[in-house]
Amino acid sequence: MKKILFLIVILYSFSFSVKLTRIGYIDIQKIMDKVAADNNLIAVLEGKKYEYIRKADELAKKIKLLKEKLQKEDLTLSDERKKEIKEEILFIQDELKQFLDEKNNDLKKKEDKLSFTVLKEIYHIIKKIAEINGYSIILEKNSSIIYADLKIDITQKVLDELDKQKKKKDSN
């Protein structure tokens, strides 16, 4: 009897000295899909893409006009003038290719920066929810979790917090 009482006292005191680890998980893909669907976050990129496409169309039209001129006036143009027009076409084609390469790199950098900014914001929300709810560990749903109880899924809490922050920004 004394051993059992001693064991109960030890286990009881041990339970107060050991902090239980609370684990949650999140579906990052679900969060990213929601963020990507939010037109306010990608409006900047869409505006830039439109601007770049417009400039590329202008260069393509110049090339088309020069080619048409070359075809229509083939018999009346001197060989020297034909050569000049062909060189101009090649120059504009090179300019167009260089422009598209440069702008694609530019857009990629902007997308990466935007993704980093969004991920940083999501991280802070996850951290805040973890601290409020006493989570010690938050795992990503699609990374080696074989089973997880839906009770520890904090995805909706993060989505709700993102919505709150979006509403705050929209109201300002």
Complete domains list, the chain, with CATH? 21-171 (3.30.910.20)
Q: Beta strands 137-140 and 23-26: pairing type?
A: parallel
- CA distances for 83 relative to 38, 65, 69, 89, 145, angstroms: 51, 16, 13, 10, 66
Backbone φ and ψ of 66, nearest 5°:
-65, -40
**Per-residue confidence of the chain (172 residues) as pLDDT tens digits?**
555 655 565 555 555 555 567 788 888 888 877 877 765 556 666 666 777 788 888 888 888 888 888 888 877 888 888 888 888 888 988 888 888 888 888 878 877 777 777 778 888 888 888 888 888 888 888 776 666 777 888 888 888 988 888 888 778 7
CA distance 84 to 90: 10
Q: Are 155 and 31 in contact (CB under 8 A)?
A: yes
CA distance 96 to 62: 10
- CA distances for 62 relative to 3, 76, 84, 169, angstroms: 95, 21, 14, 43
pTM: 0.50
CA-based nearest residue to 52, from 11, 120, 106: 106
